Chain A
Amino acid sequence: MDYWRKPLDIDKYEITHGAIHIIIDRCKGCNFCIEFCPKKVLEVSNEFNVKGYHPPMVADQAGCVACKLCELICPEFAIYVTEDKHMAISKKEPHED
C-alpha cells in the first residue's frame, strides 16, 4: 500500500544529484550500502580490494539523489557522496521504502 501521493508542486523542486566516492581499500564487503540505497544505484563489483573484498560500484550514477544513506550506514567510512545541487531530499529510513 502506498502511503503518499506525488507532491502537487513537484515540478517546483529540482532533484539533487550526488557524486559517489568509494574508498575502495576500506570496504569490507558487507553490502549494506548496496542493499539499502533507496534508488538502487550501487552494485557489487567483480573487482577485489587489497583485503580481498568486492567493493561496490556505481551502476546508475544518474539515479543518485544524494540522500547519503550509503554514507551514514557504511560501517567502514568507505563511501561518501557530494551534492551536485541544493539540499538532499530523502530523509527516509531504509525500511520505509
Chain B
Amino acid sequence: MSQNDIHPMDKLIRADRMPHIWCSGCGLGTNFSCFLSALDQSGLDIDKCVIVSGIGCTGRIPGYTNIDSYHTTHGRAIPFATGLKLANPELTVIVFSGDGDLFAIGGNHFIHAARRNVDINIICVNNFNYGMTGGQFGPTTPLDAITTTSPYGNYEHPFNLVQVAAGSGAVYVVRWTSLHVRRLTNSIKEALLKKGFTFIEIISPCPTSFGRRNKLGDGLDEMKYYQKYSVIRHGIDPKDADLCLNGKIVVGKFIDVDKPTFLDNQPDLVSMAEKNKK
C-alpha cells in the first residue's frame, strides 16, 4: 500500500476541486466515477464530448469534470444540450442531472426531446427529492415518503421515470442503482455509443435529506438495501417497473431500439425554399 499518489481518474476530473461538495455516503460520487470509467472505455474523443447539467447536487457533476462542461439554469439542461447537438452534430452530448431538474421544472423539455429523438444522452440521478435545497418532495418522491414539504407523508403519485422515457420515445431506457457499478458503467458506455435519445436512471442514496427523514440509515445502509431489494428484469414493460417506498427496485435494460433521429429526419429546408422561389 502506498499513500497520496495520483488516482487514475485524475486525468478526467478537476483534481484541484477535490474534495467535492457531496455528503459522506451520497451516491453521486460513485455515479460520477462510473460515468468517467464509461467515457474512458468508450474510445470516444473526449474533446468531442460535452456534459451539461441543470441545478442541484447532481447538477454539480459537470463542474468536476475535465471535459467541456456547462452548468446551465434550473431545468434547462436539455434545451441547452439540444442546441449544442444541432449546431455541432459531431459532438457527443451528455446531460447529467437530478430528478427534480429533469422532471419537475424541466419535464416538458424531457418529453419533447425524447419525442423528437434528439441524439443526446440523459443520465438522471433519482434520489427521490430535491437534495440541494433541503429535501423537498418532487415528481419522483414515493407515496407516503416524508420530506420537508410532506411532513405527514407524500400524497402525490410519483412518475415512473423509465415509463415516462419509454412513452415519450426514448430509444434506450435502463435503470440501475449506485450499487450496480459494473452494469451502470456498461450501460453508460452503450448509451454514449448509441444514436438517438438515450435515458439512464440511477437510483441513488441521499442520506442527508431523503434517507434521514425516511429512516433509511446512512449511505451504506441504502446501498445494502439496493443489494437486497434490486431485481434485474431486462426487457420488461417499463410500466411494470414502478417504485415505492421500501419496496423492491426493478432494474435492467427495458428499451433498446433504433429509429431515425431529429437530424436524420430534418429535410433540407433551405434548398426546398429556394426551389419554391423559382
Residues of chain A touching chain B, judged by Cβ–Cβ distance below 8 Å, are 19-26, 28-32, 35-36, 51, 53, 57-58, 61, 69, 71-78, 80, 91-95
Contacts and interface: CB of A to CB of B under 8 A. Distances in A.
B180 interface: yes
Interface string B1-15: 111110111100101
A76 B226 contact: no
B182 interface: yes
A75 B18 contact: no
Contacts of B255: none
7 contacts: A31-B220, A32-B223, A51-B19, A58-B1, A61-B1, A75-B29, A95-B180
A19 B226 CA distance: 29
B34 interface: yes
A30 B226 contact: no
Given A30-B25, A69-B181, A95 B227 contact: yes
Interface of B: 1-5, 7-10, 13, 15, 18-20, 22-30, 32-34, 37, 179-183, 185, 218-220, 223-224, 226-228, 230
Given A26-B7, A28-B24, A93-B180, 19 more contacts: A20-B1, A21-B3, A22-B1, A23-B5, A24-B4, A25-B4, A28-B19, A29-B24, A32-B30, A35-B223, A71-B8, A72-B34, A72-B37, A75-B22, A77-B18, A78-B7, A91-B182, A93-B181, A95-B226
Nearest 3 CB-CB pairings of A with B: A75-B29, A28-B24, A95-B227
Contacts of A36: 179, 223
Contacts, number: 102
A76 B220 contact: no
Given A36-B223, A95-B227, A95-B230, A76 B19 contact: yes
A88 B7 CA distance: 18
A92 B181 CA distance: 10
Contacts of B224: 35
B1 A73 contact: no
B30 A73 contact: yes
B28 to A, nearest CB: 7
B3 A22 contact: yes
Contacts of B1: 19-22, 57-58, 61
Nearest to B9: A77
Nearest to B5: A21
A22 B5 CA distance: 8
Contacts of A94: 179, 181, 227
Contact of A30 (B7, B13, B15, B219): B219
A58 B228 CA distance: 26
B219 A80 contact: no
Contacts of A61: 1
A76 B185 contact: no
A75 B7 contact: no
A33 to B, nearest CB: 10
A30 B183 CA distance: 21
A77 B24 CA distance: 13
A86 to B, nearest CB: 18
Nearest to B180: A93
Nearest to A34: B220
Contacts of A95: 179-180, 226-228, 230
A91 B186 CA distance: 11
Contacts of B19: 26, 28, 51, 76
A32 B31 CA distance: 13
Contacts of B34: 72
